[in-house]
Amino acid sequence: MTNYWLMKSEPHVYSFDDLVKDGSTHWDGVRNYQARNFMRDKMRIGDIVLYYHSNTKPPHIAGISKICKESYPDITQFDQKSKYYDPKATKEAPRWFLIDMEPVTKFDAMVTLDQLKENPALEEMLVIKRGQRLSVQPVDKTHFDEVCKMANIYL
């Protein structure tokens, strides 16, 4: 069965348009255990992702992507030159994992964080909660459907 997720990216680092241009991407650089666990243990091929742009004005969901490769070690953890290098990780016991995703649909009009907050049906959605910093979050299907409705997208 399909799971639904929200994943954050800073658009000046890697935007939804970059993903469209590339066709698919390795979601490297996640260094939070909870986010890693979701990617490593829960994400399956075909899972659907709300692609969220953080640290931009206004913060918003830009489109939908999907998981096209299940978890495997993030090689940047072994690369001393990478800012994601982790000296405690070894190839025998990798610490960080990632997935690959590919674009599905770009929203014609972005769905902003303010719009999400204004929608009573999304009251319980994690991303609108204060202090919620997790960059990989599970999303209820009902919330996912509501966001699609707001974006006039019908998959």
Partner DNA sequence: GCCAACGTTGGC
- Interacting residues toward DNA by CB under 7 A: 8, 10, 31-34, 54-57, 59, 113-114, 130-135
**106 vs 117, beta carbon nearer DNA:** 117
Minimum Å gap between C-beta 37 and DNA is: 10
Strand partners, 60: 53, 112
Could you give the C-alpha distances from 17 to 46, 71, 106, in angstroms and in order? 20, 23, 8
**8 vs 66, beta carbon nearer DNA:** 8
- In 3-state terms, what secondary structure has residue 121? helix
Minimum Å gap between C-beta 1 and DNA is: 26
Beta strands (DSSP E) in the chain are 4-9, 25-26, 48-53, 60-73, 97-112, 136-138
- In 3-state terms, what secondary structure has residue 147? helix
Residue 96 parent element (H or E): none
Compute the distance between CA of residue 150 and CA of residue 40 in angstroms, rounded to an integer: 30
Minimum Å gap between C-beta 28 and DNA is: 12
**56 vs 82, beta carbon nearer DNA:** 56
**54 vs 105, beta carbon nearer DNA:** 54
Minimum Å gap between C-beta 49 and DNA is: 14
**2 vs 114, beta carbon nearer DNA:** 114
Residue 20 parent element (H or E): helix 16-22
Minimum Å gap between C-beta 154 and DNA is: 26
Strand partners, 52: 8, 61
